[in-house]
Amino acid sequence: MDKTTLAYWQGNATALAIEGRAFIDGEYRPAESGRTFDSVSPIDGTVLAQVADCGEADVNAAVRAARRAFEAGVWSGLNPRQRKAKLLNWAALMREHLDELALLETLDAGKPIGDTTSVDVPGAAYCVEWFAEAIDKVGGEVVPADHHLVGLVTREPLGVVAAVVPWNFPILMASWKFGPALAAGNSVVLKPSEKSPLSAIRVAQLALEAGIPAGVFNVVPGGGEAGKLLALHRDVDCLAFTGSTNVGKLIMQYAGQSNLKRVWLELGGKSPNIVLPDCPDLDRAAKTAAGAIFYNMGEMCTAGSRLLVHRDIKDVFLDKLVDAARGYIPGNPLDPKTSMGAIVDQLQLDRVLGYIEAGRAEAKLLHGGSRVQQESGGFYIEPTVFDVSQHDAKIAREEIFGPVLSVITFDSIDEAVKIANDSDYGLAAAVWTANLTTAHEVARRLRAGTVWVNCYDEGGDMNFPFGGYRQSGNGRDKSLHALEKYTELKSTLVRLR
Ligand code: NAD
Q: Which of 262, 138, 46, 59 is nearest to 251 (CA)?
A: 262
- The pLDDT of residue 39: 97
Read off the pLDDT of residues 66-119 as tens digits, 9 standing for 90 and up: 999 999 999 999 999 999 999 999 999 999 999 999 999 999 999 999 999 999
469 lines ligand 1 (CB under 6 A): no
| pTM score of the predicted model | 0.98
210 lines ligand 1 (CB under 6 A): no
Q: Using an 8 Å Cβ cutoff, are 271 and 448 in contact?
A: yes
Q: Using an 8 Å Cβ cutoff, are 39 and 46 in contact?
A: no
Of all residues in the chain, the percent with pLDDT exceeding 70 is 100
- The pLDDT of residue 1: 79
- The pLDDT of residue 459: 73
Atom of ligand 1 nearest to the CA of 401: 31
- The pLDDT of residue 156: 98
Read off the pLDDT of residues 343-358 as tens digits, 9 standing for 90 and up: 999 999 999 999 999 9
173 alpha carbon to ligand 1 midpoint, in Å?
11
SS3 content of the chain, % helix, strand, coil (to 5): 40, 20, 35
269 lines ligand 1 (CB under 6 A): yes
Q: Which of 401, 368, 402 is nearest to 386 (CA)?
A: 368
Q: How many other β-carbons are positioned within 10 Å of the β-carbon of residue 315?
A: 9
Spans of the chain, pLDDT less than 50? none
Atom of ligand 1 nearest to the CA of 243: 30
Distance CA 179, CA 301 (A): 20
Entry field: residues in the chain: 497
Please state the φ and ψ torsions of residue 48, each to the nearest 5 degrees.
Answer: -85, -40
250 lines ligand 1 (CB under 6 A): yes
Q: Which domains does the chain have, with CATH numbers?
A: 9-267 (3.40.605.10), 272-461 (3.40.309.10)
Read off the pLDDT of residues 163-192 as tens digits, 9 standing for 90 and up: 999 999 999 999 999 999 999 999 999 999
Question: Pairing state of beta strands 371-372 and 380-381?
Answer: antiparallel
Question: Pairing state of beta strands 428-432 and 450-453?
Answer: parallel
| Residue identifier of the C-alpha nearest atom 8 of ligand 1 | 193
323 alpha carbon to ligand 1 midpoint, in Å?
33
Instruction: Spell out the residues 6+ positions from residue 28 whose beta carbon is closer than 8 angstroms to its own.
Output: 19, 21, 22, 201, 205
304 alpha carbon to ligand 1 midpoint, in Å?
19
- In order of 59, 310, 467, 480, the CA distances from 23 in angstroms are 11, 52, 29, 28
401 lines ligand 1 (CB under 6 A): yes
266 lines ligand 1 (CB under 6 A): yes
Average pLDDT, the chain: 98
399 lines ligand 1 (CB under 6 A): yes
194 lines ligand 1 (CB under 6 A): yes
> Partners of 493 in the beta sheet?
151
252 lines ligand 1 (CB under 6 A): no
335 alpha carbon to ligand 1 midpoint, in Å?
28
245 alpha carbon to ligand 1 midpoint, in Å?
8
Atom of ligand 1 nearest to the CA of 472: 41
246 alpha carbon to ligand 1 midpoint, in Å?
9
- In order of 36, 122, 284, 451, the CA distances from 280 in angstroms are 54, 32, 9, 17
- The pLDDT of residue 340: 98
From 301, 306, 476, mutation site for ligand 1 pocket: most ligand atoms within 8 A of C-beta: 301
438-469 b/e (C-beta count within 10 Å ≥ 16 → b): ebeebbebbbbbbbbbbebbebeebeebbbbb
From 167, 229, 242, mutation site for ligand 1 pocket: most ligand atoms within 8 A of C-beta: 242
DSSP SS3 for 414: helix
Torsion of CA 109, 111, 116, 118, to 10 degrees: -160
From 53, 164, 233, 469, mutation site for ligand 1 pocket: most ligand atoms within 8 A of C-beta: 164
Strands (E), 300-439: 306-310, 364-367, 371-372, 380-381, 384-388, 404-410, 428-432
Instruction: Spell out the residues 6+ positions from residue 135 whose beta carbon is closer than 8 angstroms to its own.
Output: 80, 83, 84, 87, 183, 184, 483
Q: Which of 109, 48, 4, 103 is nearest to 335 (CA)?
A: 4
Instruction: Spell out the residues 6+ positions from residue 396 whose beta carbon is closer than 8 angstroms to its own.
Output: 270, 306, 363, 388, 390, 406, 408
Atom of ligand 1 nearest to the CA of 468: 41
Distance CA 292, CA 138 (A): 35
- Which residues are part of the catalytic machinery? 266
Instruction: List alpha helices for 142-244, DSSP H.
Output: 170-183, 198-209, 224-232
Please state the φ and ψ torsions of residue 447, each to the nearest 5 degrees.
Answer: -90, 80
Strands (E), 158-305: 160-164, 187-191, 217-219, 238-242, 262-266, 272-275
Task: Give the CA angle between residues 232, 26, 119 to the nearest 5°.
Answer: 80
449 lines ligand 1 (CB under 6 A): no
- The pLDDT of residue 22: 99
Q: Using an 8 Å Cβ cutoff, are 199 and 178 in contact?
A: no
Counting runs of H as helices and runs of E as strands, what totals does the chain give?
A: 17, 21
